[in-house]
Structure 1
Amino acid sequence: MPTAIAVTAPDLLLPPPDQHTPPAAVLQTPQGRTTRPLEASLSDMHALLERHGYVIVLCPSSLPSQALHRLHTVRGVLESDRIALLDLDLPPLGIAVLALQLRQLSLCDFSPGVLASAARLLSHYIYAGAVLNSVTKLDRVPVSLKQHAKSWVPGSQFAVLASPKAQLIRLGGAGQGASLEGPGFATRLVLAKGQLQSDWIANSLARSWQVQGIAEAPLPAESARWWATGKLLEFAAAIPDISVLYQLVSSVKREECHWCGLELIGDRCGFCSAPLKQHENHSRPNGVLTPGDQRKAITS
């Protein structure tokens, strides 16, 4: 069985593009609780390990601390070095897109260690953002005093890009023709509609980014907390071609973790979090390719 990819909520699952992509495991917290019962958490994780051998859990940075502590407790009680807990600073819809990519790559010939550390690499190729009605409480990207003040103007809307590089523009008025700096490679855009009406993503952003298609998904429950407002439209553009994703991961030098012995790419093991030894580290942080190498990997 391929390495299990797990998410912390069912709304972080996107439908697969084919019948071969394996499903993700959902480590769901019961409604009205901040954590799952310990016995249930241990039982579910043990079953995943027995069936798949290794488990990679994608944890949004907005996950409540109690839920994250519970995952670490489960790993500690099971005394397992085969559970990777990846704390990723992607918006929730970006996490869902990344989970789908890892599910697809889990069918390839990558070892569990490479697959886990590939999550950090692939997150740099996911353009994740949102259209918001207000940025007064937003602390995920820098907000200027002028932009903060304009949030109080009725009808204001802002386009925000959180990853891979923070950007923020005001829509309408002087910013009518403004756009966010987008990817230089082919992407497919996923759109999740919340309590906000706007055609800017479909009519303007998708055209300027030259996306190859738009798919709609339910808005993750975590999105309102991540973006600090319930009135939003969330989007994420990413590479849809599994062969391109495979080439990206394959093109990065592999190392052996000096602590747990697993293969990895980048500068840190996804399972035990041990960094590469200083003499092993190289000049490409997190396994991210240089711009020239990015073009070679994506177009080859």
Structure 2
Amino acid sequence: MPTAIAVTSADLVLPAPDRHTPGAAVLRPPGEAGLEAALAETTALLERHGHLVAVVPPWLPAATVRRLHTVRAILETDRIALLDVDLPPLATAVLVRQLRQLTVCDFSPGVIASAARLLSHYIYAGALLGTVAKLDRVPVGLKAHARSWSPGAQFAVLAHPQPHLAKLGSGSGSGSAAAGGQGVLPPGPGFATHLTFARGTLSSDWVAAELAPAWQVQGVMENPLPADSAHWWATPKLVEFAAAIPDVSVLHQLVASVRREECRWCGLELIGDRCGFCAAPLAAPPPKDSARTGTRTRSRS
């Protein structure tokens, strides 16, 4: 069976893009299941799948994070990866879907876990907001704060990979001037993506009607808004969006192009500079032998 991907809430499990992509396990929080039940659920997942990769976003309650670490510690296993993923909620769900897609490829559990950091760099995550008065996820200038109190104000905000904030005009919805002197439309990806969006209480078609064509996305899909989105963006008046690579063959090629290493601590394969399972950094290359280098230099002279 493929490596299990796990989340802590069902709204982070987006519909599968094809019939081959498996779902994700939903690990219940302490308020819904006791420790014994959590241990039993996790043990069953490990027996069925061999390894478990759980996505741990930063907005989780402290009790939920402690439960995840407690379960791993009690089971005394190195087959559970707890991945710290610092993305907005909808983008986190998109990344989870990509990891689910990779589980049907010929990658080891260690590569799948460490691929999360790589794939996150290729996700463009933002939101259309009705106010930025309380937003602290991206830099917000005084003018933008003041304009938040204007009736009908809307802001195009990109949180990842580079922060961008612009106030949209009140006419067509796209505007002609931006806060901070930047362009109104957030800079988009330079590669093929699909756009996933989710509506809060803000009534606007700007994301699908204007942003998607400007970014030249290959497809648009609407999904329900994750429960934590309003808190993450500091307002329920929003339309959240995330553009990402949808094709599993492209994802496979991207991950396969990175050199694989063996973790010096747990022995699993990894890509990048850190193991996804034990978090051990990749061993630094051995220092150069300065004496031998000096001998070669003298012999040439």
TM-score, with length taken from structure 2: 0.89
Structure 1 counterpart of 2:158, which letter? L
**Aligned residues with identical type, % of pairs:** 66
Aligned to 2:158: 161
Aligned to 1:72: 69
Aligned to 1:44: 41
How far apart in 2 are the matches of 1:124 and 1:254? 18
Aligned to 1:4: 4
> C-alpha deviations, 1:15-62, integer Å up to 9, x for none?
1122111111011337xx3x7421121111111111101000111221
Q: Pairwise mapping of residues 223-242 of structure 1 onto structure 2 (< 5 A)?
A: 223-242=229-248
SS in 1 for 2:105: coil
Q: Is the 8 A contact 1:58 1:99 kept in 2?
A: yes
Shift of 1:11: 0.7
**Structure 1 residues 173 and 155: CA distance shift in structure 2, 3 A:** closer
SS in 1 for 2:69: helix
Q: Which runs of 4+ in 1 moved over 2 A?
A: none
SS in 1 for 2:197: strand
Pick one of 65, 79, 83 that aligns with 1:82.
79
Aligned to 2:249: 243
Aligned to 1:24: 24
Shift of 1:173: 4.8
How far apart in 2 are the matches of 1:152 and 1:104? 43
How far apart in 1 are the matches of 2:156 and 2:61? 26
Q: Is the 8 A contact 2:3 2:49 kept in 1?
A: yes
Aligned to 2:130: 133
How far apart in 1 are the matches of 2:224 and 2:25? 18
Structure 2 counterpart of 1:192, which letter? A
Structure 1 counterpart of 2:228, which letter? E
How far apart in 1 are the matches of 2:36 and 2:228? 25
2:175 counterpart of 1:176: yes
Q: Is the 8 A contact 1:2 1:52 kept in 2?
A: yes
* Gap runs ≥5 in structure 2: 177-183, 287-301
SS in 2 for 1:94: helix
Name the stretch that deviates more: 170-179 or 21-30: 170-179
How far apart in 2 are the matches of 1:3 and 1:203? 38
Structure 2 counterpart of 1:5, which letter? I
How far apart in 2 are the matches of 1:107 and 1:139? 38
Aligned to 1:112: 109
Name the stretch that deviates more: 59-68 or 171-180: 171-180
TM-score, with length taken from structure 1: 0.89
How far apart in 1 are the matches of 2:59 and 2:133? 18
SS in 2 for 1:255: strand
Structure 1 counterpart of 2:218, which letter? Q
Structure 1 counterpart of 2:190, which letter? G
Aligned to 1:91: 88
Shift of 1:147: 1.2
Aligned to 2:202: 196
Pick one of 127, 146, 149 that aligns with 2:146.
149
**Root-mean-square deviation (Å):** 1.5
Shift of 1:93: 0.7
Aligned to 1:124: 121
Which structure has the larger Rg?
2
> C-alpha deviations, 1:197-234, integer Å up to 9, x for none?
11211111101100111111010001111111111111
Shift of 1:245: 0.4
Q: Is the 8 A contact 1:10 1:28 kept in 2?
A: no
Shift of 1:84: 0.6
